[in-house]
Structure 1
């Protein structure tokens, strides 16, 4: 990618991108994702959140005593690009993957499914509480 293209993406606030057909660029080096120091929870999901999902996500964050500024959402494919981090939590919602080292891992159904499934909310809460013990 040309430096000008990278600059345009940065000016648009896009700090992460993914090439759709990486096989066309065999010598391309994947960009490293540097998480902000205040990021304590990494949310990994297979699908993007809509407003209803974002509301539930915010409620769960507040129950964990975290703010939205302390959380970051990434697609599963970006996990291997994470550099050093200060994460406390790594939450996989509706997907599975290798998590970054030195963090507590949560696994749940996707947020879309959790809206109408109290048992999946309860299972997530039990996982969160298990780390406090």
Structure 2
């Protein structure tokens, strides 16, 4: 183990994260809490940027949220979060993998939804089904 850490440090890697911690026998990843201002968790394998962020902000504004109230996580990180006080969870192009009482949205990739009337309509119907208009 010491040799492996030495190699990582020699490459300038000070911190790393296990992608599949459940594969290590006896290891339990620490459960982290979301900060209090987080109202929506965006679960996606791609971090939104540029024009997608502008579009995402418009969507969030449609149900009285803003970007500062949203957090992004990669699908493999979801099992490491405590989701008790979360209001919304948005699964983007990934399978539902968390048990929570939060209102759930499911869409293809944001780039597909943004330019597709059918996908935008489906997203809006999901939002409206929770009475958030």
Per the normalisation by structure 2, the TM-score is 0.77
**CA contact under 8 A between 1:44 and 1:74: conserved in structure 2?**
yes
Residue 42 (structure 1) aligns with? 41
Q: Does 1:64 align with 2:60?
A: no
Equivalent positions of 1:101-120 (< 5 A) are 101-120=100-119
Cα distance, 1:97 vs structure 2: 2.1
Choose 93-102 or 121-130, whichever is displaced more: 93-102
Residue 72 (structure 2) aligns with? 73
| Structure having the higher Rg | 2
Q: Does 1:92 align with 2:104?
A: no
Secondary structure of the structure 2 residue equivalent to 1:125: helix
**CA contact under 8 A between 2:19 and 2:76: conserved in structure 1?**
no
Residue 32 (structure 1) aligns with? 31
**Runs of 4 or more above 2 Å deviation:** 17-29
Per the normalisation by structure 1, the TM-score is 0.77
Secondary structure of the structure 1 residue equivalent to 2:105: strand
Secondary structure of the structure 2 residue equivalent to 1:132: coil
Secondary structure of the structure 1 residue equivalent to 2:104: strand
Deviations 1:101-132 (CA, angstroms, capped at 9, x unpaired): 11111101111111221110110000000111
Residue 130 (structure 2) aligns with? 131
Deviations 1:62-117 (CA, angstroms, capped at 9, x unpaired): 11110212111101111111125311111101111223411111101111111221
Cα distance, 1:26 vs structure 2: 5.3
Q: Structure 2: give runs of 5+ residues left out of the alignment.
A: none
